[in-house]
Structure 1
Amino acid sequence: MATTTANSSMLGTSGATFAPLTVPKRLLLGPGPSNSHPSVLNALSQQPVGHLDPFYIQLMAEVQGLLRDVWQTSNRLTLPMSGTGSAAMEATIANVVEPGDTFLVAIKGYFGNRLADMASRYKANVQTIDKKWGEAFSLQELEEAIIKYKPAFLALVHAETSTGVCQPMEGIGDLCRKHNCLLILDTVTSLGSIPLYLDDWKVDLAYSCSQKGLSCPPGLGPFTMNERAEEKLNKRTGKVPNWYLDVSLLNKYWGSDRVYHHTAPVNMNFGIREALRLILEEGLEATWTRHKLNALELWNGLEDLGLSLHVPSDIRLPTLTTVSIPSNVDGKAFSLHLLNNHGVEIGGGLGELAGKVWRIGLMGYNSNKTNVDKILNLFDSELPKFKS
């Protein structure tokens, strides 16, 4: 929050005076955003260039290539949407869904509900199947639903940020090919942090964000679609009903033509290029292993303190851990205490889990032993003060 001073030279319309911005120091160990790597912040701080500058056009191609590598895909249409992860989510739906298309969402948390809501706004015939928040779908459950509803799309959240569940993906892509539906995958809390193999998994459309596993500030939404999805886009009977997110237009800018579409957030693309470069410099396998090892240390430490984890270990996300709040603890008061007195942010529960869990994130740059030790020490020293 900006500080105020009576001697400031800037006078607001309300009569208040404002000092230069001073941002409090925070360690972001919640559901996102995560802290940004210093070299990402340095890239963001460079002077902008024009969005048709030859330097920037080359950088655009580099960002696309880096995204393909981190997502493990060869998809031609891979680009960062100008907007946060929710913009990329909406782009995924807006470009391929037409009125009346059956859109099946396998909901196991808050963001599955968001997918269903968005699809309904594009006049899809939305059908849903539900799982308890903290569980994952079996292949049999998904196939039964596909046979029942005969959807054009199956939408899944790979890493459900609201619950801490990682959906097993083995066989789902083959299932969708067998029944001729497109597979949409939300990778918002998995890209850059846990194993992702879009092509091997036969994922047709996927999206993510810049501020979690990539450790770049919020503002870009990575998006990708394969040839099957491109065919659906090209066979539309009308225009994509969202001009800003229309990939058929954006492709003219991000493809070989480089035709202006909208003023690109050039500095955000400076930042995401550096973020992706850092991941590949470390190595994908090494990055995934680092997240897993730090998560295991966190899980063991929390259980040693007598706390229960909401999700079974075999489907637990290394990036986002849901911790059951003890019945004798005011969970919100504890979270505020950590933020206000120690500068550490953890999240509370959403939807069905509101007031029931804390959400601890170890994503990207923030997934390290120092942060694990810090949060465990705080739970050890501070939580007893909040037990009634």
Structure 2
Amino acid sequence: MTLPFSIDERHRIHTTQLDVPPRLLLGPGPANVHPRVLAAMSLPTLGHLDPCYLELMDEIQTLLRYVWQTDNPMTISVSGTGSAAMEATLANVLEPGDVILVGIMGYFGYRLADMASRYGADVRKLTKAWGEVFSLDELREGLETHRPAVLALVHAETSTGARQPLEGVGELCREFNCLLLVDTVTSLGGVPVFLDKWGIDLAYSCTQKGLGCPPGLAPFSMSPRAWDKLQKRRSPVANWYLDMNLLNRYWGSERIYHHTASSNMNYGLREALRLAAEEGLEQRWQRHQNNARLLWEGLADLGLVCHVREEFRLPTLTTVRVPEGVDSKAVARQLLTDYNIEIGLGLGELAGQVWRIGLMGYNSRRENVVLLLEALRKVIANGKAIDIVN
């Protein structure tokens, strides 16, 4: 019998063993994965309703509550990337016609607004220049003007490297009877986040940044206030896969099948969260801050300038202004080809204007900062990739 499709010489390469270069991932994510996480992921696969796996799910929920500093019962890992959990926060509490006010200070604020519009929400926007943050007075004015059901803010804007202060925002939202939704994608595991203390009702993150896992899962948390809004919906959640009513029956006491969750991915998440607990959150946050400061000082010594004011600068993600006359892509390309170091380029309005350097999770280590700064110094001195104009 002759197969209609077969491997011929042109496709022979696809049958060879995979060979992946050893990159140091110092861009906006993913970051390199802790060896203990990789080891955990290599353990035997379990079924998604296996008693041992169900016990592991409980452990993940407890550890996620710790890193987020919350008692929210509905705290889970969504099977999908951070964008899936982003969509879950919106899908579960927004109905057609609901007003949502989105604070936009970078690329991912626009993504929130786009997603919300697809669920029929009445999307209103507050905007700031990319790299700046909102004051409490500006947020109060926005709430008074728009009276939204939900206020959505990005805590750690990955496109700009800015950290939005959240102290007092939860109280403000309760004053105006709206829910507070927060993107913690680039802050969870590396920057202080207090869901309960700050009155955050809906939060989402990812696994591949501050937590030090591969991409593929997305932490999600929902306060009792947000859960109550979900229960009072007039229409079903428009996204079946992300419906928290259904997912709660899987993650909660009923243990009713919803989808085939990846046991191996969740092994990795459990180990990453266990590493965070072993280190201690305060020590982990300080490690990220110390290494970021070392980076900032080193960049200044090279004559490079950070895009965001230090008081609002993320320790997990630094945006560096590209000097005039410099080809940002050429610099990034030379770092990758000559030194196996990945950094990120500018996104959206900052395309061509900044580099994005991530020090997240396992990668937030002094030796990585020293290695990157030395590579940058050599690239600048080499002159092949850049032509700095004095």
TM-score (norm. length: structure 1) = 0.96
Q: Report the Cα offset of residue 171 of structure 1.
A: 0.7
Q: What residue number does 1:7 align with?
A: none
Specify the alignment match of 1:338 in structure 2: 335
Q: Tell me the equivalent position of 1:156.
A: 153
For residue 95 of structure 1, the aligned residue among 92, 103, 110 is: 92
- Letter paired with 1:70: V
Does 2:40 correspond to 1:43? yes
Q: How does 1:262-277 map to 2 (within 5 A)?
A: 262-277=259-274
Q: Which runs of 4+ in 1 moved over 4 A?
A: none
Amino acid at match of 1:139: L
Q: CA deviation at 1:12?
A: 3.7
Q: Which amino acid aligns with 1:120?
A: S
Q: Distance in 2 between matches of 1:12 and 1:190?
A: 46
How far did 1:186 drift? 0.2
Question: Does 1:380 pair with 2:373?
Answer: no
Deviation at 1:387, TM superposition (A): 3.3
Q: Give the 3-state SS of the residue equivalent to 1:132 in structure 2.
A: coil
Shift of 1:13: 7.1
Deviation sequence 1:8-48 (CA, Å, 0-9, x none): xx964794112111111100000000000000001111110
Classify the secondary structure of the residue corresponding to 1:105: strand
- Within 5 Å, which residues of 2 pair with 1:181-260? 181-260=178-257
SS at match of 2:134: coil
1:105 aligns with 2:102: yes
SS at match of 1:25: coil
Over residues 270-299 of structure 1, what are the superposed CA-to-partner deviations in whole Å (9 max), with x where a residue is unaligned? 000000000010000000000000000000
User: Secondary structure at the residue paired with 1:103?
Assistant: strand
Q: Where does residue 367 of structure 2 map in the other structure?
A: 370
Question: Residue 123 of structure 1: which of 109, 120, 128 is its match?
Answer: 120
Which of 315, 318, 322 does residue 321 from structure 1 map onto? 318
1: CA distance between counterparts of 2:131 and 2:245?
38
2:11 paired residue number: 16
Q: 1:50 is matched by which residue type in structure 2? A: G
State the match for 1:358 in structure 2: 355
Matching of residue 62 in structure 1 with residue 74 in structure 2: no
Indicate how the Cα distance of structure 1 residues 382 and 11 shifts in structure 2: closer, same or farther if over 3 A, else same.
farther
Give the whole-Å Cα distance in 2 for the aligned partners of 1:11 and 1:192: 47
Q: CA RMSD in A?
A: 1.1
Residues 1:13 and 1:223: Cα distance change in structure 2 (over 3 Å): farther
* Letter matched to residue 11 of structure 2: A
Secondary structure of residue in 2 paired with 1:16: helix
Secondary structure, counterpart of 1:196 in structure 2? coil
Q: TM-score, normalization: structure 2?
A: 0.96
Of the three residues 31, 42, 49, the one matched with 1:52 is 49
| 1:82 paired to 2:79 | yes
Identity over aligned pairs, percent: 61
Instruction: After superposition, give the CA deviation of every residue in 1:115-156 in whole Å (9 maximum; x if it has no partner).
Output: 000000000000001000010000000000100000000000
Does 2:291 align with 1:302?
Answer: no
CA contact (8 A) 2:330 2:386 kept: no
Q: In the TM superposition, what is the alpha-carbon distance from 1:341 to its structure 2 partner? A: 1.6
Q: Secondary structure in 2 aligned to 1:75? A: coil
Q: Residue in 2 aligned with 1:4?
A: none
Aligned to 2:136: 139
Counterpart secondary structure, 2:66: helix
Looking at structure 2, the residues matched to 91 and 120 of structure 1 have their Cα atoms a distance apart, in angstroms, of 14
Distance 1:111 1:162 in 2: 7
CA distance in 2, matches of 1:73, 1:54: 26
Aligned to 1:73: 70
Native 8 Å contact 2:331 2:386 kept in 1: no
Q: Which amino acid aligns with 1:101?
A: D
- Structure 1 residues 151, 381: closer, same or farther in 2, change over 3 A? same
Gaps of 5+ in 1: 1-9
Q: Which is worse superposed, 377-386 or 174-183?
A: 377-386
1:284 to 278, 281, 284: 281
How big is the shift at 1:329?
A: 1.2
What's the offset of the Cα at 1:114? 0.2
Q: Deviations over 1:209-262 (max 9, x none)?
A: 000000100000100001000000000111111111110000000000000000
- In the alignment, the residues of structure 2 paired with residue 230 and residue 122 of structure 1 have an alpha-carbon distance, to the nearest angstrom, of 18
Alignment partners' CA distance in 2, 1:14 and 1:193: 48
Q: Which amino acid aligns with 2:130?
A: W
Residue 34 of structure 1 corresponds to 31
Task: In structure 2, list runs of 5 or more residues that go unmatched.
Answer: none
Letter in 1 for 2:42: S
- Whether the 8 Å CA contact 2:60–2:269 is kept in 1: the answer is yes
Report how many residues are paired: 379
**CA displacement at 1:380 relative to structure 2:** 1.0
